Structures are given as structure tokens and as C-alpha cells.
Amino acid sequence: MKKIFLIALLTIAALSCKEDETQIQNPGTLNLTFENAVGTELLSLGNSYTNSSGEGYSIQELKYIISNITLTRKDGSLVVYPPGQSYFVINEADANSLTIQLNDIEAGAYTSMTFGFGVDPTKYPIESGTLNFIPTAEEAGMLWTWSAGYKFIKFEGVYTIPPLTGSDPFRIHVGSHGANLDNYREITVPLGDDIANTDFTIGEGVNASQTIYFDVAQVFDGPNTISLENASDIQVDPVNAPLIATNIATAFSVPQG
């Protein structure tokens, strides 16, 4: 009798163990590498570029917040990366920050990825896991000191308006404005190759990799045109900040073919 009881207990124990393990069954790793670019060339801090308004600019600092990563499986189901671990500062000046390592992603075929640009202000901070992101954001200078809010992008440098040769600083900080204006954007990029019809696969115990381009030129020249002559110090700017957020929402892409 005792023996049967023990066997039953053992079975229960074994089953409950197995249940625990299903959460990280066949885990693989996905490395996302963000490559900041100006048009078709990779960005170099300090290089000179020209926007469509004919203004010359060079970039001294480029940082932005990526959050809330969700992967879409080939069958359409979603894999939500744990929210508490899903906040990252991408800093052009820090090569280590350009690659995000997503651990314990279930192996399989995936078709697309959605991520947040900035911090979703509609989510309750505890639920969204942002409270533990505060020290990281603070160290990167991505908190507004007078507010409990985040700078989603910190984009600074100098610009010149030809034929003048002198340069003036520009400063673009876009975030949400309290509960008044939400500049958070969700962005979806494809994974894999639609043209060749190949799947993007994350294999068990394997590090899969995906490059994501961010074309920073589109901050000025996306669906909206932003001229530095008109606005070179964009911080809590209720007119230009949402225009830039919209430009950024279409500035991310993945390599084709």
C-alpha cells in the first residue's frame, strides 16, 4: 500500500517537473543586431550628411529605447518576450548595446517581430516591468529629470545651413508628454525571406541572428519632413515630436534577400 502511494507521489512529482520544463522547451537564442544607418550607408558618428532640406548635419549622440518584443510564429501564434526583460537602450557609441540577446526563445519557424519604440505609457509600470528599467535608462541619460518620463530617442549633433558655414547644435529628444501625448510606437518587421520563401528558424541550442536597420535620416525625411532650420531644439514639442515619432515608425527595416 505504502509502495503504491509512493509510486503515485513519484508520478505526480515527475509530471509536475515536466510541466515546469515545458516553459523553456527546446530553447534557442535570438540575437538582434541594430545597425544604425543614414540612407544606405552605415552611420558614423561625426561624419557629415545632408537631409532633403539641404541642411548639413553630423551626429554626436544617438540613443533610443527598444521594448516589448513579440515574435510571431509561422502558425500565427505569438511569443511574448518577458516584459520585465524587454527594455533596451541602443547606443550608437556603445557597440555592446547594439546587439540584444533574447534567451530562451522556443525553437521553431518565425515570420515577423514586433517591438516598441520607447516605453508604452498606457501600461501600468509594475505590469509592464519598466520599474526595473529605470536605473538603465537613468545611466544612459534617457530620463527626463523634471518628469517621471523617458526620452525614447536622444539624437544630438550639429547642423549647417548652406551657404553659411557655421554650425549650430541640434537636439532632438522625443518621449511621451505625461498622459497628454503618447509618442510610443509599435513597429513590425518581417523575419526570414519572403522572396526566396525561406523560413526564419530558431534552432534548439542555437544562436539565430537578425539584423535590423534603423535609417536615422528618416528622422528628418520620412512621411513628414523636419527641417533643422525650423526646429533644432525639439524636446517637449507637441507639434514636432509626434511627427518624428511617425517618421521613426517606418525607419526600421531588415536586409532584403
Partner 1 sequence: MNKLLYILVIIFFLSCGSDNEDYAAIEDEDLSQTENPLLDFSVPSNFPDSTYDISQNPPTEKGFELGKKLFFDGKLASDGVVSCGFCHIQDFAFTHHTHITSHGVNGLIGKRNAQPLHNLAFMNEFTWDGAATFLDSQPIIPITAEVEMNETISNVLSKLEADPNYPTLFAEAYGSEGITSERLFKSLSQFMVMMVSANSKYDKWERGEAVTFSEDEENGRILFQSKCASCHSGTLQTDQSYRNNGLPLDPTFNDIGREIVTGLASDRRKFKVPSLRNIEITFPYMHDGRIASLEDVLDFYTDGIVNSETLDPLFVQPDGSLGLVISNEEKTQLIAFLKTLTDTDFLNDSRFSEF
CA–CA separation, 16 and 11 (whole Å):
8
Q: Considering the complex, what minimum distance in angstroms separates the CB of residue 43 from partner 1? A: 28
Is residue 47 within 8 Å of residue 84, measured between CB atoms? no
CA–CA separation, 122 and 68 (whole Å):
13
Please report whether residue 14 would count as binding partner 1 according to CB under 8 A. Answer: yes
Stretch that binds partner 1, among 45-53, 144-152, 165-173, 212-220 (CB under 8 A): 144-152
Tell me which H or E stretch contains 139: helix 134-139
Q: Considering the complex, what minimum distance in angstroms separates the CB of residue 22 from partner 1? A: 12
Which residue reads 547644435 in cell numbers? 169
Please report whether residue 93 would count as binding partner 1 according to CB under 8 A. Answer: no
Report the SS3 class of residue 19: helix
CA–CA separation, 17 and 202 (whole Å):
25
Q: Given candidates 46, 47, 52, 139, which one binds partner 1 under the rule CB under 8 A? A: 139
Quick one: which of 140, 144, 145, 116 has its CA closest to 129?
A: 116
Quick one: which of 240, 204, 207, 208 has its CA closest to 225?
A: 240
Q: Considering the complex, what minimum distance in angstroms separates the CB of residue 206 from partner 1? A: 22
- Name which of residues 183 to 242 contact partner 1 (CB under 8 A): 235-238, 241
Q: Considering the complex, what minimum distance in angstroms separates the CB of residue 209 from partner 1? A: 28
Stretch that binds partner 1, among 95-103, 147-155, 186-194, 203-211 (CB under 8 A): 147-155
Sign of CA dihedral 212, 235, 149, 97: positive
CA–CA separation, 132 and 114 (whole Å):
22
Q: Considering the complex, what minimum distance in angstroms separates the CB of residue 16 from partner 1? A: 7
Please report whether residue 10 would count as binding partner 1 according to CB under 8 A. Answer: yes
Please report whether residue 1 would count as binding partner 1 according to CB under 8 A. Answer: no
Q: Given candidates 25, 33, 147, 209, which one binds partner 1 under the rule CB under 8 A? A: 147
Is residue 65 within 8 Å of residue 137, measured between CB atoms? yes
The site for partner 1 (CB under 8 A) is made up of 2-3, 6-7, 9-10, 13-14, 16-17, 20-21, 84, 121, 124-127, 129-132, 134-135, 138-139, 143, 145-149, 177-181, 235-238, 241
